Each structure stands twice: as structure tokens, then as C-alpha cells.
């Protein structure tokens, strides 16, 4: 069964510093996709970044980058130049590809607090 | 605005009552799904649908029913509410393009349900 592990329940960072949120995954499928979502206190799920298992380069979206290490089965999110608005829960998720339905498997999340 | 619309946003039920959480999308997405989010856990899949008339169970289906009579709507029914169903519920839609490439997930804003 596929599994996502986020070992950091909470992280603290000062404004303008970079922060790395850890995510490891376990799957036997050769084809999969990895996501990061942000959930602010308002509750909605905001898509941040996606990495496909066959992508050769690490994904980047503005201040977000995904440090994809396939051999280690890790997909860490790096936020550069943190902002106060980055304070939120962050979820790593994996998409099952080789099934009739592409469901998402989520980790337990990391709460990030950005201080001035 | 195009997207996934969930209603209601908040609901309080008494144990044993039944209700339907509504989900509608206007993007003509073929795949729709329901997740629940509990404290300290990531989102878990309840039920999903790969098209009108086709539904299947996810990870935690007990106590819930779904149907998909149209592409747009995917309601989630609680048959006899229990305190264990107190949670935040998210509906999501997704699609595959003609090249059978995943086209992305769109989440609704969530329904916060309390069963007393």
C-alpha cells in the first residue's frame, strides 16, 4: 500500500528565511505523482507544486521548489524567503496512477509558523 | 467562478439524523471524490466516481452513501449520523486529458460537520 510520511508536526521559521518541509513516500508503482498542498486557517486546500515520477528536473513554482530524490523516496518542499502568509498546514500527497481512479494519499501534515 | 462548490459550509447534526452534503462542479471533470479530514490526520478517501452512474468505495466508506446521476453533481449522504463522523469533508474533481495525462485536482472549500 502506498504511504506518505511527514515527520515534522511543526516547524518554525523567521520571515525571509528558507524552510524545508520533509516528505517521504513508499510505493511499488513505477509511475506516480507527488503533490504539496497548503491549508491556511480558513481551511481550503491550495495546490502548490507537483512532481511526476518520471520528471527529470525538480519542480519549481515561484518561491516553492520540490527537492525530489527518487532513490531515497523523498519529496521535500522548500520555501524560499518565507513570508508571514506562509503560516499554514502543509500536506504532502501521492497520486496512485495504475488504478482506474487516481486517488490521493495524504500525509499527516506539517504546521509551519512564520515569525516576524 | 468555475470550480467545485460544496454546501453547506457548516452543519450540526444530532446522532441518528441523516443529511446530504452537496458537491457540484462546472468543469466537466469525469472524476469526483469525497475526502474527510480529522485532526492529526491527512485527508482520507471516502467514496469516488469515475463518471456518471459509476461509484466505488474508498478507504473509509462505512456510514456514507454516494450516487452520481450527472457529471456535475456528487452528493454524499450520511445515513444515520454518529459522533465519529464529526469531521471536515472535502469534495474534489479531476480529469484525464486525451493523452491520458492527469489534468489536476480541484478541491471544494470544505464542509465542517459536527455530530452531537
Between B108 and A95, the more confident residue is: B108
Q: Is the pLDDT of residue A86 over 90?
A: yes
DSSP letter (8 states) at residue A82: -
Cβ–Cβ below 8 Å for B43 and A107: no
pLDDT computed for residue A104 by the predictor:
87
Q: Is the pLDDT of residue A98 over 60?
A: no
Q: Is the pLDDT of residue A33 over 60?
A: yes
> CB under 8 Å to A7, separation ≥6 — which residues?
A22, A24
Q: Is the pLDDT of residue B98 over 80?
A: no
Cβ–Cβ below 8 Å for B31 and A91: no
Using an 8 Å CB-CB cutoff, list chain B residues near A107. 42
Cβ–Cβ below 8 Å for B48 and A101: yes
> CB under 8 Å to B110, separation ≥6 — which residues?
A43, A44, A45, B6, B9, B37, B88, B89, B90
Tens of pLDDT along B10-53? Answer: 999 999 999 999 999 999 999 999 999 998 888 999 999 989 99
Question: How many interface pairs between A and B have CB atoms less than 8 angstroms apart?
Answer: 50
Could you report how far apart the first and last alpha carbons of chain B are, in Å?
Answer: 34
| DSSP string computed for B29-59 | -SEEEEEEE-TTS-EEEEEEEEETTEEEE-S
In chain A, at which residue ranges do the beta strands (DSSP E only) sit?
A: 3-5, 10-14, 19-21, 24-26, 32-39, 46-52, 60-61, 64-69, 74-79, 88-96, 104-106, 110-115
Joined together, the cell numbers standing for residue A76 give 521535500
Please give the average per-residue pLDDT across B66-87, as a whole number: 97
Strand partners, B21: B76
Tens of pLDDT along A38-59? Answer: 999 999 999 999 998 888 899 9
Per-residue confidence band for B100, with pLDDT thresholds at 50, 70 and 90:
low
Per-residue confidence band for B104, with pLDDT thresholds at 50, 70 and 90:
confident
CA atoms of A76 and B40, how far apart (whole Å): 20
Amino acid at each position: 500500500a502506498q504511504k506518505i510520511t511527514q515527520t515534522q508536526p511543526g516547524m518554525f521559521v523567521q520571515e525571509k528565511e528558507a524552510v524545508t518541509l520533509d516528505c517521504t513516500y513508499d510505493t511499488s508503482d513505477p509511475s506516480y505523482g507527488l503533490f504539496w498542498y497548503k491549508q491556511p486557517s480558513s481551511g481550503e486546500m491550495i495546490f502548490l507544486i507537483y512532481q511526476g515520477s518520471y520528471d527529470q528536473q525538480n519542480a519549481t513554482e515561484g518561491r516553492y521548489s520540490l527537492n525530489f530524490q527518487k532513490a531515497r523516496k523523498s519529496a521535500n518542499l522548500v520555501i524560499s524567503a518565507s513570508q508571514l502568509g506562509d503560516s499554514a498546514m502543509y500536506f504532502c500527497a501521492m497520486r496512485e496512477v495504475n488504478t482506474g481512479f487516481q486517488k490521493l494519499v495524504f500525509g499527516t501534515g506539517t504546521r509551519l509558523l512564520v515569525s516576524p | 467562478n468555475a470550480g467545485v462548490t460544496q454546501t453547506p459550509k457548516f452543519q450540526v447534526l444530532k446522532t441518528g439524523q441523516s443529511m446530504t452534503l452537496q458537491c457540484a462542479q462546472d468543469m466537466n471533470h469525469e472524476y469526483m471524490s469525497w475526502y474527510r479530514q480529522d485532526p492529526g490526520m491527512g485527508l482520507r478517501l471516502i467514496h469516488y466516481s469515475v463518471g456518471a452512474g459509476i461509484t466505488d468505495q474508498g478507504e473509509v466508506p462505512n456510514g456514507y452513501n454516494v450516487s452520481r446521476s450527472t457529471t456535475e453533481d456528487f452528493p454524499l449522504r450520511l445515513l444515520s449520523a454518529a459522533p465519529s463522523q464529526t469531521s471536515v469533508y472535502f469534495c474534489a474533481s479531476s480529469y484525464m486529458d486525451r493523452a491520458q495525462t492527469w489534468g489536476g485536482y480541484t478541491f471544494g472549500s470544505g464542509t465542517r460537520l459536527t455530530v452531537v
